[in-house]
Chains A and B, each alone.
Chain A
Amino acid sequence: MKRLVLLSTIVFTLGLSGLRADEGVKVSPIDHAATLKECGGCHIAFPPQMLPSRSWIKLMGDLANHFGENASLDQAVQDDIATYLAAHAADAPATKGGARFTKGVGADSVPLRITDTPYWKREHDEIAASRFSDPKIKSKANCIACHRTADKGEFLEED
């Protein structure tokens, strides 16, 4: 009986603090073969919904200097991916619920990292910086190390 009470308390507390295991954010998964293949060659193909279109255009315009690496593509492939990302960006007309990802991003600010957005920082403010340098995680860009189904557009609270 004691155990049951304890368990209920834990469940109730977690519920209140918004840390239920199933909580998180879901976006439409990427359905564009070139984006999945080329972006996904080095990291998960990040959801275009999480940055404004101006960010994707700037990022795709300088793949030779891509976060410390050369990630150049043939021009046609590059244009194809840039078009897809811009059309599915946070502020694209067809994107539903994109505003939450760019809340707090200034109109003249062009974040190139999702992890630099106020949204991402808010959502991860309880995670110690040292966790991201854990060899199993390695980088904040390694979403799927904690969000196991991130490649399906699901960023659930880690259990």
Chain B
Amino acid sequence: MNKSHKIALISLLSLSNVSMVLPAAADPARDAILATLAEEAKKADPAFGGFSAERGQAFFAAKHTGGKPDTPSCTSCHSQDPTAAGETRAGKRIEPLAVSKNPSRFTKVDEVNKWFGRNCNSVLGRECTAVEKGDFIIYLSGK
């Protein structure tokens, strides 16, 4: 291996390291939304130990009860694969939830509040908790 090849290889390795260490798409607005949710979560439960992408994934895929019969799951409209587009019940395309495919996701607090407000009620028949919302955002930020 000559010198220039070595340099190229090292650059490539360090580049891939960087992308592994950093979250998929850090965004100050999304971080602020998560920080607010973390505060709320701590208020509700002082033992709160941070959001979990695993819990978020389970929540996303789960069939819930208590909501409206046509929408038992997030996947009812967002499809099983959050990196793919979804479809409303009226047939309109929904842009992917995964931040890697749709970097503006979870960056506008009004939109986040509006859609959690509506969809948690449609799917679960209640508001989502701060932990559920934070887990959901963390999961999709890494997708």
Contact = CB atoms under 8 A, between A and B. Distances in A.
Interface residues of B, number: 16
Interface string A60-71: 000010011111
Contacts of A42: 88-90, 92
B46 interface: no
Contacts, number: 49
Contacts of A67: 89
A46 to B, nearest CB: 10
A8 interface: no
A69 B91 contact: no
A14 interface: no
What's the dominant secondary structure at chain A's contact region?
loop
Interface in B68-99: 68-71, 87-92
B91 A139 contact: yes
Interface of A: 42-44, 64, 67-74, 137-139, 141-142, 145
6 A-B pairs with least C-beta separation: A142-B91, A43-B90, A138-B91, A70-B121, A141-B90, A68-B70
